[in-house]
Amino acid sequence: MREIKAFIRRNMTDEVVAALEHAGFPSVSISEVEGTGKLSTNVEVPIDNLPVTYNKMAKLEIVCRNQDEKNIVQVIHKYAATGEKGDGVIYVSDVLQVFKVRTGEQTSEENL
């Protein structure tokens, strides 16, 4: 199994999620996040007399079968990219185990 985390512009979230649903990937967790990076220009907060600038982004998280990874990454890239700096980043990680909270039962990749 894979976990895909995508940090994208907040104004692109609806279009990306709709495209993922249309492509057959309806399960997406969405969070509003703030962070720093190479293109931090949105919010400036002085800390100890040094300006720290934060980006406001949306974070999408998806756990999927290994064979779906490439398609999901392609959909996110296609619908989140504007061609400008600050479009975001996509991370892909291995998921070792998944357990249901209610039952404690381990879930297999086929049951995602």
- Residue 50 is predicted with a pLDDT of 63
- Residue 44 is predicted with a pLDDT of 56
Contact 57, 7 (CB under 8 A): yes
CA 13 and chain centroid, separation: 10
Domain that holds residue 82: 2-111
CATH number at residue 71: 3.30.70.120
Single pTM value for the model: 0.84
- Residue 20 is predicted with a pLDDT of 98
Along the 112 residues of the chain, how does pLDDT read in single tens digits? 999 999 999 999 999 999 999 999 999 999 999 887 765 455 555 556 666 677 889 999 999 999 999 999 999 999 999 999 889 999 999 999 999 999 999 988 777 7
Number of structural domains (the chain) is 1
| Residue 53 Cα distances to 86, 88, 90, 109, angstroms | 13, 16, 21, 40
